[in-house]
Structure 1
Amino acid sequence: MPRLASFARLLLLLLLLPAASLRGQDVPSWNQWRGPNRDGIVPGDDWPDSLAETVLTRSWRVKLPPSYSGPVVSESSVFVTGTEDKKSEVVYAFDRQTGEELWKVSWPGAMTVPFFAASNGSWIRATPACDGESLFVAGMRDVLVSLNAKTGEEQWRIDFVEQLKTPLPAFGFASSPLLDGPFLYVQAGASFVKIDKKSGKILWRTLEEDGGMMASAFSSPILASVAGQRQVIVQTRQKLAGVDPDNGDVLWEQTVPSFRGMNILTPAPFNDGLFTSSYQNKSWLFRVNKTDDKLQVEEAWENNAQGYMSTPVIIDGHAYLHLQNQRFTCIDLATGKRTWTSQPFGKYCSLVAQQDRILALDERGKLLLLQANPQEFKLLEERTVSEEETWAHLAVSGDQVFVRELEGLSAFRWKRVE
């Protein structure tokens, strides 16, 4: 009887809870670079199989200053950054359902990147990260700022140039922060750094560089279990490495050849290996093995696919990758063989996937719906969703698709038509 009474009280409590609070628990988020698991894979209900205007409808749009960084999404809000008047960096929070501005903060933070990287502007680059309570924003001048996600109030700030006495990075802070429980990992201060996300205290620093042109990392770190050991996978301008998240020890490292250190995409784990590709070079799978309690890395295979800025999605042992020559390709990760290569599309694509569907947003404002088919390239549908350039990474959360245009943010709702 006591157990039955306890159950009855619990049932009554659940019935009395506000419906909105129950719904909020089910609302998925897109809380950091490439989503909650950092792999571009979208959880939730199956996607519709069309991009028609009757299926993918624009809910709202707001005008913004320009940015390269992607939107991140909490249960209730969507957060974006911009560079205003080439003088300041600005962060916005909007209601994800209505587009209503919730708060806005800014700080001086503009800089000019080298001429060969500035053809489209020297806008803020890194995608923020949000843990539901705080928003972590990387500013171009090598600063990391923690903001209250509800109010925008600044909680702490790290100026890596001032604190670590390192030079201002030539390309700005481009690598997106990685969330891991109570910690953050960032490539900043000509190094790789672990931070206590509550206090902003630097806990350790490793993979230190001399600074200057080759110290501005583009690639963003990930967490993965490789060769039976949990580690942070870091790709600098010149090498790939596994780092012990507890103490910062470099467990293994591997040079990644590239032109001008253009290691841009985020590495993708596959079994006990890491896939990567670099500008004007090749693609590789590097395998990590444990021998005598030490980790060693070796090249499993290479092929001539030249990646650029687009990080692939991995589906059923195949990497779907957008190339420097503007084509898509599919690579069998077990063998390193290409199974197909498509016709050209845009210069850049951000890719997200669910089951056998891939959404690809290229910089021309075109959204592609692809079928992940290792036998052939299959374009299911294509639609122009913006007349502006769309260099920022696509975000998908629940039935919403967020497109950061060069000077705006559009929210679409994607629904099945019965």
Structure 2
Amino acid sequence: MKTMINRFSATSLIILMTALVIDAQDWPQWRGTNRDGKVTGFDYPKAWPEQLTQAWKVTVGLGDATPALVKDKIYVYSKVGENEVMQCIDAATGKQLWQSAAYPAPAVTGPAASHPGPRSSVAVAEGKAVAVGVGGDIACFDAATGMLLWRNEEYKGQVPQFFTGMSPVISSGICYAHLGGPKTGTFIAFDLASGSIKWKVEGEAPPYGSPVLMTVDGTKQVVFQGQTKLVSFNLADGKQLWELETPVGTGRVNNAASPVADGNRIYYTGLNNGVNAAEIKKTGNSFTVSKLWTNPEFTTA
């Protein structure tokens, strides 16, 4: 029997992060520091309490994204009223430290209408907090004050069926994102300080997974999960290094899970596609990718 993996509520994640990760390392982006879901530096108790004691409770807007935690500050991007806003909350007290300027939230229609808030998790690095709206716009705020540093609306309104769900990733002053609609998309590298585009490549339409970073034999790269394939680019110049077909099963296209990188291996899954592993090798200046195994017993919903 296949095991189905579903998304769960952002509200419960706020409680868990406050209770469990506050004394551990930062959690600055989707799935943590290395985007692999691992927490280090957390000294777990010898005996777990039968129930947790609520330290504080705060109301935030609508959304399905996880918050970011950096230096005892929680960053949340959500829909408040008819707008999308960034909020910064003191992790120890629950006090709101600042709220950004508000930007009109697009109407979420079709089968996604019951979830009108942002799906993309905030990425915090180098004193900046980057958020992607449900409609495909991307904005960067000063992490200390909430002041808007730059905003790009070039891809606003170009969204997949269930609207934008990709969470950006930041590395060495560059923010990487995959934006676009149901038929075509663009892989983009934004300068974190100015918002200028360092490079962009048009091609595979975005599903709902998020990019990950990996290094293979000294070559740093960013890997995106597209609708039907994984695609890797050189971090610096956007040169495509390799790609791997990842076809989904029958019905809607829904590669919603983010890939996981571990050394020179990449693990990925998609709708009715099981869990898969591939290995990337470098020979000279070229890369080859080969599928290692698949487990059809696990898939995503």
The bucket for the TM-score relative to the shorter chain is 0.7 to 0.9
Over 3 Å counting, the alpha-carbon distance change for 1:234 and 1:185 in structure 2 is same
Identity score, percent: 28
C-alpha contact (below 8 Å) 1:31/1:131 kept by paired residues: yes
Given the alignment of the two structures, is residue 299 of structure 1 paired with residue 291 of structure 2, yes or no? yes
**RMSD between aligned residues:** 2.2
Q: Which runs of 5+ in 1 are unaligned?
A: 1-25, 210-214, 309-323, 325-418
Over 3 Å counting, the alpha-carbon distance change for 1:132 and 1:29 in structure 2 is farther
Corresponding letter in the other structure for 2:128: S
The one of 180, 192, 215 aligned to 1:225: 215
1:111 deviation in Å? 2.6
C-alpha contact (below 8 Å) 2:63/2:118 kept by paired residues: yes
CA displacement, residues 112-153 of structure 1 (integer Å, 9 cap, x when unaligned): 1431x44x4232100011125211111112111111112211
Match of 2:68 in 1: 72
Distance in 1 between the 2:31 and 2:97 partners? 24
Over 3 Å counting, the alpha-carbon distance change for 1:114 and 1:227 in structure 2 is farther
TM-score (norm 2): 0.83
Corresponding letter in the other structure for 2:256: I
Larger radius of gyration: 1
The one of 238, 243, 246 aligned to 1:248: 238
Question: Which shifted more, 181-190 or 286-295?
Answer: 286-295
1:229 deviation in Å? 2.6
Q: Which runs of 5+ in 2 are unaligned?
A: 1-22
CA displacement, residues 29-72 of structure 1 (integer Å, 9 cap, x when unaligned): 21111111111111213322554256x33211112222101110
Given the alignment of the two structures, is residue 30 of structure 1 paired with residue 24 of structure 2, yes or no? no
Distance in 1 between the 2:179 and 2:246 partners? 19
Higher relative contact order (CA 8 A, sep 6+): 1
C-alpha contact (below 8 Å) 2:25/2:39 kept by paired residues: no
The one of 95, 98, 102 aligned to 1:100: 95
1:305 deviation in Å? 2.6
CA displacement, residues 237-295 of structure 1 (integer Å, 9 cap, x when unaligned): 21112211111111110110114221111111234221111112222111222235311
Given the alignment of the two structures, is residue 181 of structure 1 paired with residue 172 of structure 2, yes or no? yes
SS in 2 for 1:167: coil
Distance in 1 between the 2:201 and 2:58 partners? 40
The one of 272, 275, 286 aligned to 1:283: 275
C-alpha contact (below 8 Å) 1:134/1:146 kept by paired residues: yes
Corresponding letter in the other structure for 2:25: P
Over 3 Å counting, the alpha-carbon distance change for 1:263 and 1:305 in structure 2 is same
TM-score (norm 1): 0.61
Distance in 2 between the 1:194 and 1:188 partners? 11
Over 3 Å counting, the alpha-carbon distance change for 1:50 and 1:207 in structure 2 is farther
C-alpha contact (below 8 Å) 1:74/1:132 kept by paired residues: no
Question: Which shifted more, 194-203 or 144-153?
Answer: 144-153
Correspondences of 1:6-405 after superposition (within 5 Å)? 28-53=25-50, 56-85=52-81, 87-105=82-100, 106-115=102-111, 117-118=112-113, 120-131=114-125, 133-161=127-155, 167-189=158-180, 190-209=185-204, 215-259=205-249, 260-308=252-300, 324=301
1:199 deviation in Å? 0.3
